Amino acid sequence: MFCFSTPRNLKTSYITILTWENCFSEKAIKLGLDQHPTSVNLKLFKVEVYVFEDKLTDANDLLDELYSIDPMNEEIYIQKANIFSKKTTTLKLLKF
């Protein structure tokens, strides 16, 4: 679906572009993980897609798995904080 950017459907147009970009991102991540199934960075990209799609439980589960592999990766902590802030659990965020 393509939308043209007129003042009335500018928001729809923006959402459509994000949806298309997300679709391509998912395909690229899938292809990358098929070739490199243990890549922590590709799995972190997958976490970002989950967060974008509001699949916070899936994102958190994958982050827990990544933490067990690479506990010193600071991007894991950043993504965890991002998920906590989306869930608006400020108290948990402060304890983390």
33 and 43 Cβ atoms separated by less than 8 Å: yes
Tell me the torsion sign for CA atoms 69, 51, 53, 41.
negative
For residue 27, the model assigns a pLDDT of 85
In the chain, where are the structural domains located?
10-95
Query: Which fold, 10-95?
Result: 1.25.40
- Helix, strand or coil for residue 34? helix
Residue numbers in the chain where pLDDT is lower than 50: 1-17
For residue 58, the model assigns a pLDDT of 96
Task: Quick: pLDDT tens for 53-71.
Answer: 889 999 999 999 999 999 9
For residue 4, the model assigns a pLDDT of 39
For residue 2, the model assigns a pLDDT of 39
